[in-house]
Structure 1
Amino acid sequence: MTPLALAPPAMEPVTLAETRQFLRLDQTDEDALLTTLITASRLMIEAQAGRCLIEQPWRIVLDRWPAAGEIRLPLSPLMRIEEARVYDVLGEAQAVAPASLTLEMAADPPLIRVTGELPEIGRSHGAIEIDIVAGYGATAAAVPAPLRQAVLRLAARWFEQRGDVAGRDGQALPAAIAALIAPFRRGRL
């Protein structure tokens, strides 16, 4: 299974104005840097939490349907399945009927169950594409406050402590920020 981001979110979970206010910055000289840090912080928090924060489109690519009829997805929370298609022997995309795939939103990680007829697979690699939308919602207000705070605090930390980071500490989140995302982390067995 290969997840592919189709587009970035339309907005970030914290605004430039919120970040400037948090840092007590009156000037706009470093807005470009702050915008980059906000995006980088969101990506880091999403990676650490195993959650997409703001609504964003993804494509899941599979070689074949799973034997058990269940596709466990690496992204959550899942909002909806947009469409699915299977490539036939001629390389033509055949639409999968919406009723053939059922989204189990209560499962964590989210799962798609095969519940109906499916077109015949015609190639050995990348034969199935499922377009989904993941995230808490389309606006920052839909994102849980601790995750928004984690993005804000990480962006501020990177802004205030510019420079090289030595050793393995550069890959770890500061303890206070890690504590904010801990309740949202997806466990791994």
Structure 2
Amino acid sequence: MMLIEETTVPTGALPVAFFKEHLRLGSGFSDDGLQDDLLETFLRSALAAIEARTGKALIERTFSWSVTQWRDASAQALPIAPVSAIVDVVMVDRGGAESPVDREAYYLRADMQRPVMAAVSASLPSIGQTDSARIRMLAGFGPDWSDVPADLRQAVLLLAAHYYEFRHEVQYDGGCMPFGVSALIERHRTLRLLGGGAN
């Protein structure tokens, strides 16, 4: 199984101005935009870390996921949330030939924690021993920063500020998140039961 981010978060969707205010950086100077690239890097890093911990895509973009077998023939849980649409499903043989799956054969069962691609009839299309299925989906709370829940927005800003403040530190801290960040994201973390199956 392999999840690929096909489109990245556009720079315009990143809250660079809010981040500057959060850091209380000065404004009105001729070099106001001097640190923008650096601030964007910290925001992207914080966004990625929060998404990894929660299993959520914060800013909407396209992902593709390849699987070699369904966990459940009637419904397959998706590896990221929230999913607003399944773009397409394609069967890929070992030679790389692609066969699109009829859109009437499946539907999205939306869920904030564990969205599912479910079969309309008895089962999803069969995956052969040398084949795989590629599911492309649109995932995220929305295309704009304001679409992200307030607690997750605050967590990203806090973590990005932590990266900014300690950018010159070289000592390894074990990868622990600051307590305030962990507390803010806790309710959004996906509880995995039954090995992450369809239910």
> TM-score, with normalisation over the residues of structure 2?
0.83
Matched-pair contact (CA < 8 Å) for 1:102–1:113: yes
Deviations 1:75-121 (A, max 9, x none): 01111100111135864311111111111113731111122486665
- The equivalent residue for 1:183 is 187
Mapping for residues 49-88 of structure 1, pairs under 5 Å: 49-88=54-93
Ranges in structure 1 where 5+ consecutive residues have no aligned partner: none
- 1-structure distance, mates of 2:187, 2:82: 14
- The equivalent residue for 1:32 is 37
Matched-pair contact (CA < 8 Å) for 2:3–2:65: yes
**TM-aligned CA deviation for residue 123 of structure 1:** 6.1
**TM-aligned CA deviation for residue 138 of structure 1:** 1.1
Number of corresponding residues: 187
**TM-aligned CA deviation for residue 156 of structure 1:** 1.2
Identity of aligned pairs, percent?
32
- The equivalent residue for 2:102 is 97
Tell me the SS of whatever aligns to 1:68.
Answer: coil
1:124 to 2:130 alignment: yes
Tell me the SS of whatever aligns to 2:58.
Answer: coil
Ranges in structure 2 where 5+ consecutive residues have no aligned partner: 27-31, 194-199
**TM-aligned CA deviation for residue 10 of structure 1:** 2.6
Q: How well do the aligned residues superpose, as a CA RMSD in angstroms?
A: 2.3
1:110 to 2:115 alignment: yes
- The equivalent residue for 2:176 is 172
The structure-2 alpha-carbon separation of the partners of 1:44 and 1:12, relative to structure 1 and needing over 3 Å to count, comes to: farther
> TM-score, with normalisation over the residues of structure 1?
0.87
**TM-aligned CA deviation for residue 180 of structure 1:** 0.9
The structure-2 alpha-carbon separation of the partners of 1:51 and 1:9, relative to structure 1 and needing over 3 Å to count, comes to: same
- The equivalent residue for 2:29 is none
- The equivalent residue for 1:21 is 21
**TM-aligned CA deviation for residue 165 of structure 1:** 5.0
